[in-house]
Each structure stands twice: as C-alpha cells, then as structure tokens.
Structure 1
Amino acid sequence: MIMIKKASNRLFAYTATVLTVIMFFTAPTLAQQTQADAFTRYELLAPTSQSFRIYYYVSATREGATRFYNQIRPGSEPDVHGVYDRMSGENLNWAIVDGNDAKGSGLIPNAQPDFQYIRVDLNRPVPNEGRGRLLIDKTYKDAKSYFEKDGTLIFSRTLGVKRNSVILPLNYELISVNYPSQVILREDGRLELSFINPGTIGVPYEVKARPIQAGILSVKLDKTSTNSNKQTSTRDVARVDYDIPQRASQTRDIFYFLQEPESNSFRLYHDYEEKREGIDRYLNVVRPGSKASNPSAKILDTGEVLKVETLHGEEITNRGIDIGEPVTNKTELVAIWFDPVETGQSKLLRIEETYTDAGRYFLTNKDEFLWDRSFGRSRNTVILPAGWVLTESSIPASVNMRQDGRTQLNFVNGRPDNIEVLIRGRRR
C-alpha cells in the first residue's frame, strides 16, 4: 500500500503513484538509517476521542540520505498534518508507504511488509557529521494508549524516545505519573509533563488525570507574593517569579573527550539550536580558570564552516559585544558568527574547542586522575582517556564501553539546576 500526500505542489494521485513506484525500483541503496535529537510532544485531545496530537522533532544523520522513514506504531490510526524542514521552515513532501518501500530504499533493511511508515523527502542530503532536522505533525487515534475509565483520563504508552512531554487537555488536573517528571502550567492553562528517560530502553509511561472546575488553571495569575518572610533554606526568599524551563525539549547536548590527565585538557563539542529571529552570533564565555584553544564551529544542517574568534578583555569591549556580565582583563570569549536567523527558521550549530583547566582536571598521583565539573545542560557525555578505568562517579550515570575501548558516561538531568560531577579513574 502506498498512499501519497504532499504538503506542497500537489500532483494528481495517479501521476504521484507512478512516480513513487519508479523511485521504489530505481532509488540507490543507502546504508541503514540513523537518527538523533528525537523529542516528542504529545497533546492529549478530549479523552472520548482516544486521540492525541504528536509533534515529533527528529534529525536524520545518515550521511548523504535524501529520505527519512518514521514508522507508524501498529494499532494507531494516523492523520498526518504536515512535515517541515526545521532549518528553513518549509513544507516537505511526504507519503504513507508500506514496509516494502522502506526496505527497498536500503534505509530500513528489516522493515516488515505490513508495517506503515511516513516517508519524507529531505530538502538537502544530510552532510558529513550533519543533521537533516524534521518536524512531523500528526494525530494518532489509539484506544489502547489513551482512554477514559471511571471518569479518569489515562495515557499509557511505552516511550522509546528519550525526551518527551505530555500536555493534558484544558481543565484537567494531574492525579499521577509513574516516572519523575517536571510539571509546568502553560500560558494556555494546560498542564505539561516533561520527562527525560535516563536509561537505554523504552519505559511504560503512564499519566492519569481528572476533570477540574473550568477556570482554575486557565487564568494566569500575577507572579507576586504577599509573603515577605525569610525562608528556611539556602535561599533568602521563595522564587515567586521563576519561570520553570521545560528541560526535555532543550537541544544543548555536550560531549567531553578527556585527554591524558597530564595535559589537564579535554576536547569538547556542544550542539546548540538558535531559533531567535535576527540573531547572528553565539557567544561562549570561558569559565574562570579554564583556557580555550583550537575553537571551530559549523552549521550541522548544511556543513557550512563558520567564522570563529577568541577575544579577551578590552577586545570584547572595543567590539561593543554584550556578554551579559562585566568584562575584566581576564575575560575570555569565543565568538561564532553566522548569517542572521530569519523568521520561522533555525540553525543547529556544533561548536568544538579544547579546554585546559588544571584546577578541575589533574592527576592526584601518577596512576589516578580526578575530573570535577558543574553541568548545566540536561544531557552530558564524558569519555575517559584511553587506557583508564572508571573508579568513581559522584552523580548517577549510564556507562558503556565504546568501540575504541574508552569508557563513556552519560549524565541526564531532567531538573533545571546544575549537577556537580566528580569522576575518578585509574590507569590500566
């Protein structure tokens, strides 16, 4: 079965079907599809509909790929509203196809014939070590995953994607959620649950909610407080004006590659999505005590290499660059420049540099190192130097051995605060 739909430049169904069949038999075989950066937002519709709208953000990463396949979960009735290129904001051509199409492309070699997929034509081939970023907008009807029982809304679904949020219908209060999640009141009065899965397999995520009197949550309240008493905590007063950042949707991954401890250095790269209209730069203020070297940057959507400058003290002031804090003669800034972001568009940057920090990464004796650093991002990965064994990690992490024999630690923090990570390792 091949059902053709297009978001733009619609053709007659017969012509589209013929073209699809031709492409099926002539498309070059590619290596297996790979992907990254997946985030799913579920907006629960009225429980009686047994339907929920899905905004699926994902990046194709197979170099040279011009298509991407998104499997439709068996048992779901899909209604695809559109597929969009997240860099340009443009509509992408898509079709609902069966497993034969997916398998024939070479991208999904194990596709079953009776499975359904959303096949997406990318705007540009995925560049080397780059991203083809997509947004798939669809509604599923799935009575097994979303239903009402004895007046209670139940959303029960195995979540294979690591980053997710679930938005309750308006005028529903949360009764329970079985995995630790942020709870955030949105501007429109709906409650949103934000969940990051720190593990390596999908989890059975279950949310229960019930109706609440209309208007209790829909009215935005003034974020001021009549309580002026000091609080018995490390803070002087409660954060009454604090807007909670939704962590699951954040895209600031960072990887640390520890060099030999004697060097006090680690190579790192971090990805950052810029969506603000008119922004033409990324500014990275180097932490006090650290020294940055060999910086580079590129746009992952296209592979374009960007201009990078390292500036110090008066150089920053003389260029009129606002870094959001006072500039001293010790201030070090890595500035990355790119064309301004246009309306409805975004750019995904990858920034690489080497940090030297003798105060946070060093040998405690000839056979043991210590690495101590604060993580502000939600997802952080640390790769130990070759020939070293992990002995301690102060913060829980998933651990795996890479193909190159180096130990990798993955830290996931679904909270909006920093985690203080201390790692020790010994020479093999």
Structure 2
Amino acid sequence: MFRDSPPQKVRSEVHKLQMRSTKPHEVIRREWFTRSLSVNSWIVAIFLCSLCVPGSAQNQNPLTERAYQDREILYELQSPESHAFRIAHDYTVRTAGAQYYFNVVRAGSHVSDPDSIDLDSGEKLKWEIISGKQATERKLPIGETIKDDTEIVATYLARPLAAGTTNRIRLKETYVDPKSYYTDGDELVWDRSFGRLRNTVVLPAGWYLTGLASPATIETLPDGRVSIYVINPRNDEVRVYLRARRRPISK
C-alpha cells in the first residue's frame, strides 16, 4: 500500500499508530512493516498466478509484429523527372514452414528490377513479379487483401523455414510513382506515407533539403547526398512531406 509512498508519509502513519497505542514503539514498527510485506506478498502471488492461468489475457493477446518490428526501409530518390526511387528493405521471416516472402506493391506504384538476397548465407534468391489475380489462382499465402491488378514481388526462400529459426532477407526494387514523387517548379516533392517503424529517404546527388513537415534526423552522407531518417512510433501510417532544391553549380 505504501510501497511507493515517500518515507515521510510512512513515518507519519507509524507515528499516528504510536500515539493511539500503548504498545512499545518498536513493536508497532515491526507490526506495520510485517503487514506491508504481507500485502506486497499477496500482490506478487496474484501476479504469478495470472501468468500460469491458461487462457489468460496475455495468452489471448500475444505480442504482435509491431512489438518486435525490425524492418528497415531505405528510399533512394532517383532523378525527380523519372518519378522513380530505389527501395531496399530487410525483413526477418519467422513463420515455420514459410517458403516465400511477398512484398505487395502499394496501389499507384509500379515495380521493376527486383533483387533478393539471403542475408544469413549471402545467397541470391529467386524472385518473380506476379499480379493479384495470379496469386489468387495459385492460392499463394499473401496474408492480406489484394486485387486482381495488385503488383506483388514474390521472393522464394532458399529452403522452407525450420521451426524455431528465422531467416533474414533483403529485397531491392525500383518503384515509379508520379503521385508521391514529382517536381513543383524548381523543387522536388516527396509526399508519401510510411507504415513501418524505421524509414530513410536519401535525396538525389546534388540536391539539398528546403522543407520537411515531419520530425527527422538529417545528415550528409560520405558521398555528399542528404539523408532524412524518420521514425514512425505509431501503429498506423505517418505522412512524410519534404521538398528539396538542386544545389547551384559552383563556378
């Protein structure tokens, strides 16, 4: 009850008992702290029992993917006139028996030039671009709602995932999306929502940041390009809007 109370409050309560009792002070102190320890012991016992009860709230609500999210995504912007950006993202496969990793391309974007690698072995992995219709016909376990015209990059794991193990893979691909990456006058504009935890946007060489509407860590890379690192701590998407301008050519 008073485990987290300030020491002076505990002393005050003990003093009140002393004033109302004829018992020796030391006896009162021992009784007080014995009673406190007894209450705390009951609290600990109830907590331990809750861990052992089948069907408890903890078992009904296991940790979700968000709790151990480790998928890092890198966006390297190409020439803004091309509306293209190169994506690289690492992903840990955790489902026993899994044979594929599916990357569902966001509506409005078009994918090309995928490249997949097994980071545990360095092995190049087979991949293919399929439509949502093809995935449905082949009964592939995509794991989310798709449409017939949805673009999907399917990466074939080197081997089915054994129980109790994980497999770290990396997928690189080029997206073209005129709605989220375009030019406005003499500036480029990046306006895209991020659903993952850690996201890095790298500007094209020769461009510098002029505006950013989201909290971020900004740095200059060794090759001179500007990097914008955005963390999304939410369980939904966060919109990232930035503008950049080409550096003047020095004479």
Using the size of structure 1 for normalisation, the TM-score is 0.44
Pairing 1:374–2:193 present: yes
2:44 alignment counterpart: 214
User: Residue type of the partner of 1:323?
Assistant: I
Question: If each structure's helix is expressed as a fraction of its own residues, which one has the higher value?
Answer: 2
Which portions of structure 1, spanning 4 or more consecutive aligned residues, are displaced by more than 6 angstroms? Answer: 220-223, 241-244
For 1:215 and 1:287, locate their aligned partners in 2 and report how far apart those are by CA, in whole Å.
49
- Bigger relative contact order (CA 8 A; separation at least 6): 2
Gap runs ≥5 in structure 2:
5-39
Deviation at 1:400, TM superposition (A): 0.6
2:83 alignment counterpart: 264
Change (3 A) 1:416 1:384: same
For 1:376 and 1:330, locate their aligned partners in 2 and report how far apart those are by CA, in whole Å.
22
User: Residue type of the partner of 1:269?
Assistant: A
The answer to which of 374-383 and 324-333 deviates more is 324-333
Deviation at 1:316, TM superposition (A): 1.9
Deviation at 1:312, TM superposition (A): 1.5
Deviation at 1:288, TM superposition (A): 0.5
1:302 alignment counterpart: 121
Deviation at 1:250, TM superposition (A): 2.0
Larger radius of gyration: 2
Q: Aligned match of 2:179 in 359, 368, 374?
A: 359
Report if aligned partners of 2:133, 2:149 keep a CA contact under 8 Å in 1. no
User: Residue type of the partner of 2:173?
Assistant: E
User: Residue type of the partner of 1:275?
Assistant: R
Alignment of 1:172-211 (within 5 A): none
Q: Aligned match of 2:214 in 384, 395, 403?
A: 395
For 2:127 and 2:63, locate their aligned partners in 1 and report how far apart those are by CA, in whole Å.
32
Pairing 1:329–2:148 present: yes
For 1:376 and 1:243, locate their aligned partners in 2 and report how far apart those are by CA, in whole Å.
21
User: Residue type of the partner of 1:260?
Assistant: S
For 2:115 and 2:65, locate their aligned partners in 1 and report how far apart those are by CA, in whole Å.
29
For 2:236 and 2:162, locate their aligned partners in 1 and report how far apart those are by CA, in whole Å.
31
- Report the 3-state secondary structure (helix = DSSP H, G, I; strand = E; otherwise coil) of the residue aligned with 1:316: helix
For 1:216 and 1:395, locate their aligned partners in 2 and report how far apart those are by CA, in whole Å.
44
Deviation at 1:329, TM superposition (A): 3.3
Offset from partner CA, 1:15-41 (integer Å, 9 cap, x none): xxxxxxxxxxxxxxxxxxxxxxxxxxx
User: Residue type of the partner of 2:170?
Assistant: R
Q: Aligned match of 1:342 in 146, 158, 162?
A: 162
Offset from partner CA, 1:32-82 (integer Å, 9 cap, x none): xxxxxxxxxxxxxxxxxxxxxxxxxxxxxxxxxxxxxxxxxxxxxxxxxxx
Report if aligned partners of 2:193, 2:239 keep a CA contact under 8 Å in 1. yes
Deviation at 1:419, TM superposition (A): 1.4
Q: Aligned match of 2:226 in 401, 407, 411?
A: 407
For 1:333 and 1:265, locate their aligned partners in 2 and report how far apart those are by CA, in whole Å.
18
Offset from partner CA, 1:335-384 (integer Å, 9 cap, x none): 0111111122211000000000001100012x101111111111111101
Change (3 A) 1:246 1:332: closer
For 1:422 and 1:217, locate their aligned partners in 2 and report how far apart those are by CA, in whole Å.
46
Pairing 1:284–2:103 present: yes
Give the alignment's Cα RMSD to 1 decimal: 2.5
Report if aligned partners of 1:380, 1:411 keep a CA contact under 8 Å in 2. yes
Alignment of 1:22-421 (within 5 A): 213-215=43-45, 217-218=47-48, 219=50, 245=64, 247=66, 249-338=68-157, 339-365=159-185, 367-421=186-240
For 1:355 and 1:281, locate their aligned partners in 2 and report how far apart those are by CA, in whole Å.
21
- Report the 3-state secondary structure (helix = DSSP H, G, I; strand = E; otherwise coil) of the residue aligned with 2:190: strand
- Report the 3-state secondary structure (helix = DSSP H, G, I; strand = E; otherwise coil) of the residue aligned with 1:421: strand
Gap runs ≥5 in structure 1:
1-149, 153-210, 224-240
Deviation at 1:214, TM superposition (A): 2.4
Deviation at 1:243, TM superposition (A): 6.3
Using the size of structure 2 for normalisation, the TM-score is 0.73
Report if aligned partners of 1:244, 1:416 keep a CA contact under 8 Å in 2. no
Deviation at 1:216, TM superposition (A): 5.4
